[in-house]
Structure 1
Amino acid sequence: MNILFLCTGNSCRSILAEAVFNHLAPIGWRAMSAGSHPTGQVRPRSLALLAREGIPTEGLHSKSWDNLPVTPDIVITVCSGAAGETCPAYLGPVLRAHWGVDDPAHATGTDEEITATFMNAYRILRSRIEAFLELPLIAIAKDQDRERLKAELERIAG
């Protein structure tokens, strides 16, 4: 199963989700990330946070959804509707879910406050990914029960 974490810039949230998912996922499940309008760079704070958490950062880069290596089975958007962002709509016959998270790239304040904003986004995403990985993934994949999986993904988003 291939999961795509999607946002607009692909510089923070979707990168964090890709790295965390791949760090925790069982064999046969793989995440990638992309943006509808990628910034072309990953925020250094995202990479530093992942490194502090012991999560590999090799190969992480900001990329367009036009250049995906494989077609995803599941697309999870991570843009925050509360922040007035418009999440890109992936065009394709895939299961879609939305896990809105405020964008730490727009954080202002002291260095500590900005770092805390990145950490908050990371914690939210990690918690949701851990909940996703607690699902009976093999049974869901074998059953091809897309509606059940969609309902679970929406439940996880809170």
Structure 2
Amino acid sequence: MNILVLCTGNDARSILLESILNDEAPNGITAYSAGSVPADAVHPAVLALLEANDHDTSDLTPSDWRDYAGDDAMPVDLVITLCSETAAKKAPAWPNAPATGYWDIANPVGAADEEAAIAATFEQLQRRAKALLKHPIETMDAGELTAALKRIAKQA
């Protein structure tokens, strides 16, 4: 199962969730992330936090959501959008007609205490990822996945 996590810049929130999912998910589930307007690099404080939590950051880099669209793209089974700006944009056509969900997560970059905001975002995304992975997501249909994502957004 391939999960695609979206955010505008793909330099903080979506990178965090990609890393959390890849660390927590069982074999057979792989997360990727992309942005509608990708940044040039992952935010340094995000990388520092992930490294401090023993996450491998060597392959983390912003990518464009169009890299996951079109007939030749890798099939994606689930798309999770993390910000209202990206949610408001017309997404590319994803191959495989994946389930989709929206978790509105505030952008920690630029907050008054940016490091604390990034840490709080990491914790929030970790709670949601763990809640998602309690479900048998590999065998759930698109409607069940979408409903689970909505419930998790309200609870975690």
For 2:25, the equivalent position in structure 1 comes to 25
Residues 133 and 89 (structure 1), Cα distance of their counterparts in 2 relative to 1, 3 Å cut? farther
Tell me the secondary structure at the aligned position of residue 3 of structure 1. strand
The percentage of counterpart residues that share the same residue type is 38
For 2:102, the equivalent position in structure 1 comes to 98
Match of 2:143 among 141, 147, 154: 147
Distance 1:25 1:59 in 2: 17
Distance 1:136 1:49 in 2: 29
Give matches, 1:1-158, under 5 Å: 1-68=1-68, 70-79=74-83, 81=84, 85-87=85-87, 88-90=89-91, 91-92=93-94, 93-108=97-112, 113-140=113-140, 145-158=141-154
Greater helix share, structure number: 1
Residues 24 and 139 (structure 1), Cα distance of their counterparts in 2 relative to 1, 3 Å cut? same
TM-score (norm 2): 0.87
Distance 1:89 1:60 in 2: 25
Distance 1:156 1:7 in 2: 18
Could you tell me which amino acid in structure 1 is paired with residue 153 of structure 2? A
Distance 1:2 1:86 in 2: 20
Could you tell me which amino acid in structure 2 is paired with residue 47 of structure 1? L
Distance 1:16 1:47 in 2: 9
Task: Write out per-residue CA displacement over residues 110-136 of structure 1, whole angstroms, 9 at most, x where no aligned residue.
Answer: xxx221100111111110000001112
Number of aligned positions between the proteins? 146
* Contact 2:6–2:86 under 8 Å retained in 1: no
Could you tell me which amino acid in structure 2 is paired with residue 2 of structure 1? N
Tell me the secondary structure at the aligned position of residue 104 of structure 1. coil
Distance 1:44 1:32 in 2: 19
Could you tell me which amino acid in structure 2 is paired with residue 96 of structure 1? T
* Contact 2:98–2:142 under 8 Å retained in 1: no
TM-score (norm 1): 0.86
Tell me the secondary structure at the aligned position of residue 109 of structure 2. helix
* Contact 2:3–2:32 under 8 Å retained in 1: yes
Distance 2:79 2:138 in 1: 18
